[in-house]
Amino acid sequence: MKGKSLISINDYSKDEQLRILDIAKEFEKKPIQPLLKDYVVSTLFFEPSTRTRLSFESAVSRLGGKIIGFSDSSSTSVKKGESLKDTIITISNYSDLIVMRNPVEGSARFASEVSRVPVINAGDGANQHPTQTLLDMYTILQTQNTLENLHVAFVGDLKYGRTVHSLVIALCNFNCTFHFVSPVELKLPSAVKIHIKEKKLTYYQYTELNDVLPLVDILYMTRIQKERFSDPLEYERVKNLYNLNREMLNNTKENLKVLHPMPRVNEIDIDVDDSPKAHYFQQALNGVYVRQALITSILGLK
Amino acid sequence: MTKKELIVSALENGTVIDHIPSKNVFQVIKILHLETYENQILFGINLESKKMGNKGIIKVHNKFFQKEEINRIALVAPSATLIIIKNFQIIEKTQVQIPNHIEGIVKCFNPNCITNVEKVVTRFTLVQDEELKLRCHYCEKITVKNNMVFL
C-alpha cells in the first residue's frame, strides 16, 4: 500500500484492510517503534477535532516522527483566500504524508489528486472518515476474534452518522447481518442500503432498542446530534429515545460488546463504563494502533 | 414524407443528431461546442415527430464525432439518434448511450461539495439503476435526474 492515499474505505480492498489490522496488532503489542525518525507528517485540520487529531499526532509521536500543521484554519493563509489546491501543493513540499480534516465534502479526494505525497482523510464533512472505520473494524476483530458472520446493531442517528455509513459498507465484505435502530426520521439512507443489497445480505430495522439487545454481538451506539435538526422540538423528542444502562445488558449475549465512536452525551449511562461489555474507551485507544499501522504502511515502512 | 425531410435540408456529408427533445437542442449545441464550429450547421426545433410528437434535430456538415464525444449529450438527449451521412447516403444509425464516467457538463447537487466551493471540474460515475443517477467522484453524493443542473 506504499504511496496509496486513503480517502474512502473502499479505496482499500478487503485484503488491504485486513493487512492494516494485522499490522495494528503488532503495534498493540509494541506501540513504541521509531520507524518515522526521518519523516515529517502534516496534520491539516481545517475544522477543530480533538480525538482524531490527537490520536494521529500520538501515533506519529510514538513512531518518532515530526509533526507540522494546524488545528484550526483561522491562523493560516486559507483566511487570506488561498485555495485548497495551492495549500496542499505547498504543504506536500514540506512533508512525507498529509493527514487532513476539512468540512467540505470531497476535499480529501481532491487533495489527494493535487498532492505530491499521499493523503489520509481524517474526515471530509459528512462524507468519509475511513480511519474511524478501520479502528472500528479492529475493535470488532479484537473482541470477537473475527469479522465474519456477526450480528451488528447500529443505534441512534443512522441518517447523518458517517461512521455508521462507512462501517456498514466495510462490513458488507464480511457477511454480517445488520440491525438498525433509529427514529423513523433518522433511518439509514438508501444509498448505504444499496451496498447491503448488492451483497445480498440481510438487514432489519427497529425503532425500539430493547428489541435488538438479545440478538447481537456488537452494539454500536451513536450520538443524536442537535445541529442536525431544524426543529428544536423534534430534537427534544428523539434525544432521549435510546439510552443504554447497565441493567439492559443483563439480557444480552455473553460476547456482546458496546462500541461508540465518541463523544457520547447521554446514550450510554456511566454505570455501563465498568461493565466487561463496555469497550468504547479501548476502541478509542485502538485508534492510535490503527493509525500507526496505516501511516507506516503508506510510507512503505511496514 | 419527402416534404418533412426537407424542412431542414439534407446533408451531403456529416452527422445528423435526430430525436433531441426540443427544449434541449441548445444544450446539445453547447455540450458539443458547436457554437465555435466553423462549418455549416442546420438545426430545427419543434418539428413534428411520429416517435416523440415534437422533436429537435441538428445537422452538422462535415463532422464525424468520436463515441465518447457524442455520448456526452445522452444526459440531455437520451432519446437521440445519430445518423452518419456520406454522399447523401445513410451509412450508420445508432442511439446515444449514457457513458459510465462523466466529466464537466453536470453540476454536483451537494452545495457542500468541493466542486461547488473551488474551481474543480466535476466528475461522476453512472449508478446502475432504473432512473438516471450520478455518483460524485469527490463527495460521493448522488445527483438524480430531477436535480441535474448543466454547466
Tell me the pLDDT tens digit for each residue of A182-222: 999 899 998 899 899 999 999 999 999 999 999 999 999 99
> Are A105 and B115 a contacting pair at CB < 8 A?
no
Alpha carbon distance A102, A92 (integer Å) = 16
The CATH architecture to which A131-284 belongs is 3-Layer(aba) Sandwich (3.40)
Per the DSSP assignment, residues forming a β-bridge with A105 are B113
Q: Identity (one letter) of the amino acid at A236?
A: E
ipTM of the complex: 0.89
Which whole number is the average pLDDT over A14-31? 97
Neighbours of B93 (CB within 10 A): 11
User: For residue range A105-148, what is the model confidence (pLDDT) as tens digits?
Assistant: 999 999 999 999 999 999 999 899 999 999 999 999 999 999 99
Q: In chain B, where are the structural domains located?
A: 2-95, 101-150
Spatial contact of A160 and A222, defined as CB atoms under 8 Å apart: no
Considering only CA atoms, which of A301, A289, A298, A259 is closest in space to residue A29?
A: A289
Considering only CA atoms, which of A90, A100, A96, A163 is closest in space to residue A126?
A: A163
Kindly list the residues of chain B whose beta carbon comes within 8 Å of any beta carbon in chain A.
108, 110, 112-115, 117-120, 136-142
User: For residue range B48-95, what is the model confidence (pLDDT) as tens digits?
Assistant: 988 888 999 999 999 999 988 899 899 889 999 999 999 999 999 999
Alpha carbon distance B143, B149 (integer Å) = 9
Q: What are phi and psi of A34, to 5 degrees?
A: -75, 55
Where do you find CATH 3.40.50.1370 in chain A? 9-128+287-298, 131-284
Spatial contact of A98 and A111, defined as CB atoms under 8 Å apart: yes
Chain B contacts of A191, Cβ < 8 Å? 141-142
In this prediction, residue A238 carries a pLDDT of: 86
The reply to whether the predicted model has a pTM over 0.90 is no
Chain B contacts of A124, Cβ < 8 Å? 139
pLDDT at A250 over 90: yes
Alpha carbon distance A75, A234 (integer Å) = 37
In this prediction, residue B8 carries a pLDDT of: 60
Q: Is A52 a catalytic residue?
A: yes
* Gap from A172 CA to chain B (nearest CA, Å): 18
Q: Choose among B118, B140, B142: nearest Cβ to A127.
A: B140
Q: Reply yes or no on domain B101-150 having CATH 2.30.30.20.
A: yes
The CATH architecture to which A9-128+287-298 belongs is 3-Layer(aba) Sandwich (3.40)
Q: In chain B, what are the helix, strand and coil shares in percent, each to the nearest 5?
A: 20, 40, 40
- Mean pLDDT rounded to a whole number for chain A: 94
Strand B41-49, strand B81-86: pairing: unpaired
Q: What are phi and psi of B126, to 5 degrees?
A: -75, 130
Residues near A297 by Cβ (< 8 Å), separated by ≥ 6?
Answer: A1, A2, A19, A20, A23
Q: Is A279 a catalytic residue?
A: no
Strand A177-181, strand A151-155: pairing: parallel
Q: Is A195 a catalytic residue?
A: no
Q: Which of B109, B117, B147 to mutate to test the interface with A (most CBs of A within 10 A)?
A: B117
Q: Reply yes or no on domain B2-95 having CATH 3.40.50.800.
A: no
